[in-house]
Amino acid sequence: MFLHVQRMLNEIAPDEPDPAAANALQEGLGGQFGEMRTMMQYLFQSFNFRGPTGKPFRDLLYGIGTEEIGHVELIASTIAQLVDGSPRYQGNPSNLDEPGAGGATPLNIALSGGNIHHWLVGAQGALPVDAQGDPWTGKYVYDSGNLPLNLLYNLMLESTGRLQKCRLYEMTDNKTARSTIAYLIVRDQAHENSYAKALECLGVEWNKLLPIPKTNAEQFPEVKQLTDQGLQSKQYTFSLDQLSEAGRIIQGTSPSKDGTSMSMEQAPEGIPFPGIAVERPEEFGPGLDPDLMELVQATAEMEMQAESAPPQWGPANA
Amino acid sequence: MFLHVQRMLNEIAPDEPDPAAANALQEGLGGQFGEMRTMMQYLFQSFNFRGPTGKPFRDLLYGIGTEEIGHVELIASTIAQLVDGSPRYQGNPSNLDEPGAGGATPLNIALSGGNIHHWLVGAQGALPVDAQGDPWTGKYVYDSGNLPLNLLYNLMLESTGRLQKCRLYEMTDNKTARSTIAYLIVRDQAHENSYAKALECLGVEWNKLLPIPKTNAEQFPEVKQLTDQGLQSKQYTFSLDQLSEAGRIIQGTSPSKDGTSMSMEQAPEGIPFPGIAVERPEEFGPGLDPDLMELVQATAEMEMQAESAPPQWGPANA
Amino acid sequence: MFLHVQRMLNEIAPDEPDPAAANALQEGLGGQFGEMRTMMQYLFQSFNFRGPTGKPFRDLLYGIGTEEIGHVELIASTIAQLVDGSPRYQGNPSNLDEPGAGGATPLNIALSGGNIHHWLVGAQGALPVDAQGDPWTGKYVYDSGNLPLNLLYNLMLESTGRLQKCRLYEMTDNKTARSTIAYLIVRDQAHENSYAKALECLGVEWNKLLPIPKTNAEQFPEVKQLTDQGLQSKQYTFSLDQLSEAGRIIQGTSPSKDGTSMSMEQAPEGIPFPGIAVERPEEFGPGLDPDLMELVQATAEMEMQAESAPPQWGPANA
Amino acid sequence: MFLHVQRMLNEIAPDEPDPAAANALQEGLGGQFGEMRTMMQYLFQSFNFRGPTGKPFRDLLYGIGTEEIGHVELIASTIAQLVDGSPRYQGNPSNLDEPGAGGATPLNIALSGGNIHHWLVGAQGALPVDAQGDPWTGKYVYDSGNLPLNLLYNLMLESTGRLQKCRLYEMTDNKTARSTIAYLIVRDQAHENSYAKALECLGVEWNKLLPIPKTNAEQFPEVKQLTDQGLQSKQYTFSLDQLSEAGRIIQGTSPSKDGTSMSMEQAPEGIPFPGIAVERPEEFGPGLDPDLMELVQATAEMEMQAESAPPQWGPANA
Amino acid sequence: MFLHVQRMLNEIAPDEPDPAAANALQEGLGGQFGEMRTMMQYLFQSFNFRGPTGKPFRDLLYGIGTEEIGHVELIASTIAQLVDGSPRYQGNPSNLDEPGAGGATPLNIALSGGNIHHWLVGAQGALPVDAQGDPWTGKYVYDSGNLPLNLLYNLMLESTGRLQKCRLYEMTDNKTARSTIAYLIVRDQAHENSYAKALECLGVEWNKLLPIPKTNAEQFPEVKQLTDQGLQSKQYTFSLDQLSEAGRIIQGTSPSKDGTSMSMEQAPEGIPFPGIAVERPEEFGPGLDPDLMELVQATAEMEMQAESAPPQWGPANA
Amino acid sequence: MFLHVQRMLNEIAPDEPDPAAANALQEGLGGQFGEMRTMMQYLFQSFNFRGPTGKPFRDLLYGIGTEEIGHVELIASTIAQLVDGSPRYQGNPSNLDEPGAGGATPLNIALSGGNIHHWLVGAQGALPVDAQGDPWTGKYVYDSGNLPLNLLYNLMLESTGRLQKCRLYEMTDNKTARSTIAYLIVRDQAHENSYAKALECLGVEWNKLLPIPKTNAEQFPEVKQLTDQGLQSKQYTFSLDQLSEAGRIIQGTSPSKDGTSMSMEQAPEGIPFPGIAVERPEEFGPGLDPDLMELVQATAEMEMQAESAPPQWGPANA
């Protein structure tokens, strides 16, 4: 069972709308080596886990898989923020046939690059596709049922994800994009370290190979800020009860040989949710005319039952 | 940010392995109207939500979306349980060329129906595909950015999901399968009611139409047991903090006109996780030979750092 | 602009339900060389036609393309008839949990072969997929914009379609299936002849090659009955106005050298529509409970405005 | 059985070639909510229709499905017109290596945006793909076999189609594109009204919700011209015989509450076909060299047999 | 540039037709971890290779990639042999409507399992699809451009391929199938060893992990016969000139620690091609009627020009 | 069994990087009518060949299929050369956050057109996709098992491939691109001639139709240079032994009626391999840091075992 808090794993920096950067970031969301894939792959490996003595390995997979759902939330929200407002339409909402700034039609931007679906199918939001517009597919999920193979694949998967994110970093200097890219670079390295550690438990000695890729990502200032905090060597259980045993694996020196030690915590603090995005009349989104808005308002004024709910969840409360 | 507890949303009843039922259930997991789709659709609609006054609607989407992750966990675990042990191989693990019961080769069952990938690509576990073996695709996710359209689509989606699950119920009487099918039938109806309620807030009067489909599912005993508890009229926030406003929508009489009232709670109690599945040597899963097993054992005996973690998560603890 | 009459291009013979035959026939509907493909390919070649002097060629494409819509109707209706009633469920519609004949659950048949979607996603009807369950895709449509290449491709396409249908004929002796297979074999040959004739107009001499494949399909009695009527040498314009010039191409001896002459007519007579399929409670289809049925009945009793519509359409009436 | 007339459902306004607009319009042709999908969905729902008392509903589906074939023809022809001539190559047809206007190679335009397949795979014509170049797929077709669900889905489908077309309208002011977009906006609304009416027959009261989306499309002049004629409240049977009973459903006040009444007619008058597109030597289309052209000419001069065909089709003639 | 000899890499043992085994083997041909994938992946990594000092690594990739083309030939030929003759039709070739053995229609077998396309689309031959009938896709090919990552992926790929083939071995005891499965198990291990060796060159120490999976495949007699010959420790250049430097990598003790040493040779001897498959009239394959056969015969009797070609190819001859 | 030589079938001319041309060329590599498709189609037709008397036809298919592997190598290498260096990044490899020429981020080019995967997923190399980024799929492969149909399809396939390459020629004047395009135009025509010749053996008389398309490609200077050498009328066996009988078919006057005679040879001479591409630090490719480079160097200095391998392969050596 999964639960949610209205907190984001990392802060999304403010900057100008940038649909080209948004489109590139789609690879990190819905691409073959993106967050939807790592999330689904680790969750399926958790659901199908076999071998009772391997519980610490299953709990590790569950922990990283749960973190990845939050990564999907983070990168999708980043993409939405990058596309939102990109048409820069300032015209009269009640007369959309009137050209906007520059004399262009309100959604003219959609014709000139990136993914036209960002404006045509969605309403300036994220899509479950990659940077070429190809939809995410279940074919990406790898679960051979063989633990060493799964761990080897997961290590390769995180490394490739990090490689692509380092390339993404070099494609754009938009601050919104880079704040999330940098965070995911460091977390991918943390996951690479975790899987490498699990393979060390099975007898591999990495010597000079790790980390792969050798990007010296500390040269990227946003990355350096996070590695200085040792975020690449922390793993989280994201587990509300006391049952995760993943900490048995995640300890000792980092396989990346950067002088840090691996450690396990429950969850990061995160930051409060950003505000909800404004209306975009040129998208007919959310599409509430005055009549409907009045009905929504009536709902918002009702007494909220949930307010008397218990402050925290836990098996003890059940 | 999402968190996890090692509890299952509903109990998976014990019964014999049944790969044909497992394969049919794949539609409910990875099919066009299955749990992976509802999960992703509601999460994307949450991430991309637009219109600050509509917060109760966004929080409703977040709540149902989070529940659906748990549905994915429930149905995937059910499928894994149904496939696990299906070859009924009792031969000598160290001589897999020796025929098993009936003189058949150890994995002969894979050639005769269902999805051969259950034994060939996976190791008697769930796959992110539908009952025809087609992989889940991001093309399924609908998020038009227009709130009334999204709600209408979601209502149709839950109704179709329930229609398919009622058909699944009639395809098999395996108790493992039916326990999960029945639970999902009732929860789909709860979600249908929730979206119908949200549309009522926008002015629709359903009269005689709901519920769609009119399956009289109470004729199915496992379903009746749950509807007698009113589970079709409860919605959960699955929210750890006090911030969900979905309760402003989910109240009053049920749009399905079954005499119940809608209500909102934080989360169900769930049941403890079942044990981890045993080894299957004919699949080389998990594939730990004595040498590797010894290394795993060494890990399991280490001191677990996480044991001193705080008992519950909450922003107050941060 | 297209119009419709409630007449079927050929009679669908009655026989027992046969879902295995139905599934095989899906190749002829939604397969790479099936009717949806020929329909879409010829229509796109018509819409995109280039070269004013080639009007007879365009009109030929339009004529065959329009016929293919009727083929889609014919084969889809045949498949629906073959699947309909296949569960042979005679149980109590108001208690679907009660086993039917043989003690099996009402939809148990869905687990044992063919395409499970025939009962799970659809309600014992046709699907836009092939015999392996793969959905039809726009990638199948070939329109190079080069007329000789298009004609060569179309000839190959019809020949392959006929080859597959001859194989289908040998897979089943169900009369429902064979009546439609035989009709489509002969019409595919007619289209092969038409495209071969068009290529003769561009200078090819076929000599001994045609027809491809050389199936001696007259050995199949249902086919012989139709070739005896010369149906393999007739082409139709399916054009309501006087504007088709395809007759300039379709004349003279058949390229298949069977002693017949090609001829062009407006449209075949067809046969009246069969009755509408009955309810299937085990599918919740159409899913009208007594309340809804009453509402439908009320509609059926209203005065029908359309009854005073003009008996026939034509530009002269406009 | 289907028939054809060489008349277009609406006039395609002349304007400059505009491949970016053409590419955007592909969504309306081959996209998930485009005309190929509505056509196939309604036709499959018609072929598989179940429940004899529901004949007016089946006939409604047949009527709209047949209209959609004409929509496919209209929008494909519009796209072809928008792409045709876009390279603006004026060079010597017999020396294609000689640069054209601006010193660019003849097909240089293909490298700079939109869908390169418009020039490389096709010859400046329409493709069965969406605005991202993804091919149409049979997976789009929804037919649950449950009538209320089908109607609800169809209503949502038409509404989403209209939403996307309103966004398309705002992307371009090319008159060719807008003439077809405006027509389809109004017809989508007519279909939305028709399905909403059918659901009203099953007891839903729409109150303030319809139309969805609330685009106030009358602000678009081309749309206003058509709604002033009440085109959003007319439905057609497109039926040549007297057998359609859809008129029993389509009557009374419009569910969109715009003050109009719904009415049913046989078919619109349409307009004569535009001329056939000219040759494009840079595409080798149609690719008839002088030798082949002579052979085509010979065909065109033959006596056309079809000229003595009966002027109109009808069961009475049969 | 690639060349061919009419020799098969390993002997395909004779046995009865077995379409179920054939279908399972399709995973090894067209599946995500099959031979078409390894072939394409290594060839693309070769074509795109970057870094002049890494030539031995590129030459290793070229060598394995070229071997994989031969694996595609071997397994496709094995599948064709397993399907060929499966209908066991002994009826009159000139009267295919006459039932064959058991009173069944000639191709009745196609309706009962495996992949119907083996008889309907192909003519009892191999298809470029996996065991679920899904077509091979270019999405499978992994080439990150980062050498360590590519090597890690390739090691995982070969290991997964071997895991699946060990499972295939346990699914069937058909000798035709097992002869090819056993050979590919051993060659996959050879490739795993080669990539592990290449990673050792980059500093990894495998200790207890390899081989993955630990299948003790020597328990399979056909495998033992080949490992006794040390085939799991040999690599081939398949290079006709003296330019491959892969031997610099492939030497020393095997990373699988089975006591063997790695060695590099040019190419195995192989065995002469089997005879060409006989005609199957029930498939209309090859479809030469007496007239066409006579024309083919005339060709076969012509003087063959190629006979005076030089006996061997080599740059020296050029 | 297949072998390789480090020689390229044709010289790739030097010119500037040109990612737009590279992307267009992807159609010729991974498109529906590209080299991966012809290669796989002919190889599958060879593997599945049926009918012992038709050996010359099988050997023809094997010969062209083997040539196509070399075409894949040629066009992939051409694409890699066109993309390589396209970012024109001259910054400090150890500080990738420092802007390059023009102040742009190092991989900024990836955001502005073509296929972003060329820089993000691959490292400035070729991909197994078409010019729209769609992956190659096994669905493209046509093998009906009917020889005349296969030959007809292959003729059409080569003609369409050539049509697209003539269009590609007109899209770009980059010399690197045009050198390979021109070569493939001429070889496609050679293959068209070969299949047409094979069909002539079955009785077709092409008269005025061939070649299709009639592009007068001799107007393209790079093409003329090759046709002047008669390359369009030569076929190769690519066979190392004396067993190919394809020469029985490929002789006599060309079906394209250009005055040449068809002839059969073993293999072209080709040209030596170009050098290996340099490192691209902005892609982290190949990603060898000083430590790893040292290890690679150690490998390169080892004695190469293969040097004592026999100079040429041949059955006589076996």
Structure tokens at B142: 């609908």
CB E155 to CB A155 under 8 A?
no
d(CA A54, CA B196): 45
> Can you tell me the distance from the alpha carbon of C206 to that of E85, in angstroms, rounded to the nearest whole number?
32
* Exposure b/e, C129-141, CB count within 10 A at least 16 = b: bbbbbbbbbbbbb
- Read off the pLDDT band of C312 (50, 70, 90): low
pLDDT in the model for residue A136: 98
Please name every residue paired with E3 in a beta bridge, in sequence order, or none if there are none: F3
Residue-level pLDDT at A309: 46
Residue C29's pLDDT band (cuts 50, 70, 90): very high
Do F204 and C204 touch, CB atoms closer than 8 A?
yes
pLDDT computed for residue D313 by the predictor: 55
Residue of E nearest to B99 (CA): E170
A chain contacts of residue E202, beta-carbon cutoff 8 Å = 208-209
Confidence tier at E301 by pLDDT (50, 70, 90): confident
State both tokens at D251. Answer: 């009557």
Residue that has been written with the tokens 């569960």 in this structure: C87
Alpha carbon E258 to its chain's center: 25
Closest CB from F144, F199, F207 relative to C203 = F207
Per-residue CA distances from E150 to A131, A156, A169, D163, E45 (Å): 22, 9, 22, 45, 8
Distance CA B26, CA A139 (A): 14
What is the structure's pLDDT at E97? 81
Q: For testing the chain B interface, which of E171, E173, E208, E210 should be mutated: the one with the most B CBs within 10 Å?
A: E171
User: Taking CB atoms and an 8 Å limit, are B292 and E166 in contact across chains?
Assistant: no
Inter-chain contacts counted by CB atoms under 8 A, chains C and F? 73
Helix (H) or strand (E) holding F312: none
F abuts B (3+ Cβ pairs < 8 Å) = no
Question: What pLDDT was estimated at residue C171?
Answer: 97
pLDDT exceeds cutoff 70 at C109: yes
Is residue D311 very low, low, confident or very high in pLDDT (cuts 50, 70, 90)? very low
| Residue A253, beta-bridge partner list | A261
**Where do the structural domains in chain B lie, given as residue ranges?**
7-282
Give the C-alpha separation, A52 to A64, whole Å. Answer: 19
Q: Which of A149-153, D46-50, D113-117, F265-269 has the lowest mean pLDDT?
A: D113-117
User: What secondary structure letter does DSSP report for C263?
Assistant: E
Measured on CA atoms in the order D184, D188, D189, D190, is the torsion positive or negative?
positive
ipTM comes to 0.96
Please name which of C9, C40, C5, C6 lies closest in space to residue C187, comparing C-alpha atoms: C9
The answer to whether B171 touches B221, Cβ cutoff 8 Å, is no
Work out the minimum CA distance from F166 to partner chain E, whole angstroms: 24
Cα–Cα dist C163/C224, whole Å: 16
User: Between 1.20.1260.10, 3.40.50.720, 3.90.420.10, 3.50.50.100, what CATH number should domain B7-282 receive?
Assistant: 1.20.1260.10
Per-residue pLDDT reduced to its tens digit, C172-197: 999 999 999 999 999 999 999 999 99
- Could you tell me if A210 and A192 are in contact, meaning their C-beta atoms sit under 8 angstroms apart? yes
The third-level CATH classification (topology) of the domain covering F7-284 is Ferritin (1.20.1260)
* Euclidean distance between CA atoms C299 and D248, whole angstroms: 6
Evaluate the CA torsion angle E156, A238, A24, B31 in order and state its sign: positive
- Whole-angstrom Cα distance, residue A204 to residue F89? 37
Residue of B nearest to A286 (CA): B146
**What burial class does residue E281 get, using C-beta atoms within 10 Å of its C-beta: 0-12 exposed, 13-18 middle, 19+ buried?**
middle
Domain E7-287 class, CATH top level:
mainly alpha
Which phi and psi angles does B284 have, rounded to 5°?
55, 40
Taking CB atoms and an 8 Å cutoff, what residues of chain A touch D170?
Answer: 96-97, 105-108, 282
What per-residue string of b and e applies to F272-293 under the rule 16 or more CB within 10 Å gives b?
eeeeebebbbbbbbbbbeeebb
Residues D35 and C260: beta-carbon distance below 8 Å = no
Residues of chain B under the 50 pLDDT cut? 305-311, 314-318
The per-residue pLDDT for F3 is 97
Q: C285-301, pLDDT tens digit by residue? A: 999 999 999 999 888 77
B191 is in an annotated binding site: yes
**pLDDT tops 90 at residue D300:** no
Confidence of residue E27 (pLDDT cuts 50, 70, 90): very high
Q: Is E239 flagged in the annotation as binding?
A: yes
Lowest model confidence (mean pLDDT) among B62-66, B255-259, E26-30, F139-143: B255-259
* Tokens standing for residue E36: 């078409």
In the Cβ-directed half-sphere of E244, how many Cα atoms lie within 13 Å? 32
Please give the annotated binding residues of A for Ca(2+), written as ranges.
Answer: 59, 239
Q: Which residues is D280 bridged to in the sheet?
A: D285
Tokens of A278: 């404004």
Q: Is the pLDDT of residue C309 over 70?
A: no
- Residues of chain E in contact with residue A205, where contact means CB-CB under 8 angstroms, are 204-205, 207
Nearest CB to C213; choose among E94, E108, E287: E287
Nearest CA in chain E to F268: E318
- Do the two chains A and C touch, given a threshold of 8 Å on CB pairs and at least 3 pairs? no
Nearest to E84 by CA among E125, E26, E34, E46: E125
Q: Give the CB-side neighbour count of residue D164, counting CA atoms within 13 A.
A: 28
CB contacts < 8 A (B, C): 78
- Judge: E1–F3 Cβ closer than 8 Å, yes or no: no
Report residue A12 as tokens.
């999304």
* Contacts of residue B155, Cβ cutoff 8 Å, sequence gap at least 6: B192, B195, B196, B199, D152
Tokens of F251: 């002789």
CATH superfamily to which D7-317 belongs: Ferritin, core subunit, four-helix bundle (1.20.1260.10)
Peptide bond into F281 cis (omega under 30): no
pLDDT at F299: 83
Report which of residues C23 and E102 the model is more confident about.
Answer: C23
Helix H or strand E encompassing C91: none
Which residues of chain C lie closer than 8 angstroms to D314, CB-CB?
311-312
What share of chain C has pLDDT > 90, as a percent?
Answer: 86
CA atoms lying within 13 Å on the CB side of residue E232: 28
Contact A101, A88 (CB under 8 A): yes
Helix (H, G, I), strand (E, B) or coil at F244: coil
Tokens of F277: 């591409």
Q: What percent of chain F has pLDDT over 90?
A: 85
Q: Which of B44, B243, B291 sits opposite A126 (nearest CB)?
A: B44
Rounded-to-integer distance, Cα C277 and Cα C299, Å? 20
Q: How crowded is residue D220: how many other Cβ atoms within 10 Å of its Cβ?
A: 23
Please give the pLDDT value at position C303: 55
Architecture of the CATH domain A7-286? Up-down Bundle (1.20)
Distance CA F314, CA D14 (A): 68
Q: How far is CA E235 from CA A151, E193, E230, F101, in A?
A: 27, 9, 11, 45
The DSSP secondary structure of E34-46, one letter per residue, reads SHHHHHHHHHHHH
> Is the Cβ pair A120, D113 closer than 8 Å?
no
Q: Take residue B230 and report the two structure tokens written for it.
A: 């009113």
d(Cα F144, Cα C165) in Å, to the nearest integer?
A: 13
Q: Find the closest chain F residue to E307 by CA distance.
A: F242
Amino acid in the structure at residue C139: K
pLDDT band at C313 (very low <50, low <70, confident <90, very high): low
- CA dist C296 to C286, D51, D56, D202, E84, Å? 12, 11, 9, 7, 56
What are the tokens at A196?
Answer: 């490498």
Burial of F315 (0-12, 13-18, 19+ CB in 10 A): middle
Q: What percentage of chain E reaches a pLDDT higher than 90?
A: 85
Dihedral sign for Cα atoms in the order F62, F67, F70, F74: negative
pLDDT of residue B153: 98
A and F touch per CB criterion (3+ pairs under 8 A): yes
* Distance (Å, whole) CA C134 – CA C128: 9
Strand boundaries in D192-278, DSSP class E: 234-236, 252-253, 261-265, 271-272
Average pLDDT along chain D: 93
CB contact under 8 A, B127 and A139: no
Q: Read off the tokens for B252.
A: 């009053």
Chains that touch B (3 or more CB pairs under 8 A): A, C, D, E
Contact state of A172 with F289 under an 8 Å Cβ cutoff: no
Whether the predicted pLDDT of D317 surpasses 60: no
CA pair distance C25, C18, nearest whole angstrom:
11
pLDDT bin (cut points 50, 70, 90) of residue C79 is very high
The DSSP letter of residue C94 is T
Name the residue among D23, D173, D208 with its Cβ closest to that of A291. D208
Residue F46: the pLDDT is 98
| pLDDT by residue, tens only, chain A of 318 residues | 999 999 999 999 999 999 999 999 999 999 999 999 999 999 999 999 999 999 999 999 999 999 999 999 999 999 999 999 999 998 888 888 888 778 899 999 999 878 999 999 999 999 999 999 999 999 999 999 999 999 999 999 999 999 999 999 999 999 999 999 999 999 999 999 999 999 999 999 999 999 999 988 788 999 999 999 999 999 999 999 989 999 999 999 999 999 999 999 999 999 999 999 999 999 999 999 999 999 998 887 765 544 444 445 544 333
Q: C290-301 and D175-201 helices cross at what angle (nearest 10)?
A: 110
Residue A123 contacts residue A283 (beta carbons within 8 Å):
yes
What is the residue-averaged pLDDT of chain F?
Answer: 93
Q: Which pLDDT band, with edges at 50, 70 and 90, does D312 fall under?
A: low
Q: Which amino acid is at C171?
A: M
Bridge partners (DSSP) of residue C272 are C7
Comparing CB atoms, the residue among C203, C204, C212 nearest residue F149 is C212
pLDDT for B168-225, tens place per residue? 999 999 999 999 999 999 999 999 999 999 999 999 999 999 999 998 878 899 999 9
Q: Per-residue pLDDT averaged across C144-167, rounded?
A: 98
Interchain contact, A219 vs F97, CB within 8 Å: yes
The contact set of C with E (CB < 8 A) is 20-21, 23-24, 27, 31-32, 113, 131-134, 163-164, 166-173, 208-209, 212-216, 219-221
Say yes or no for a CB contact (<8 Å) between B112 and E20. yes
Residue with tokens 């990739």: E61
- Residue B137: count other Cβ atoms within 10 Å of its Cβ: 23
Lowest-confidence region among D58-67, D95-104, F234-243: D95-104
Q: Consult the annotation and say whether D35 binds a ligand.
A: yes
Other Cβ atoms closer than 10 A to E44 = 25
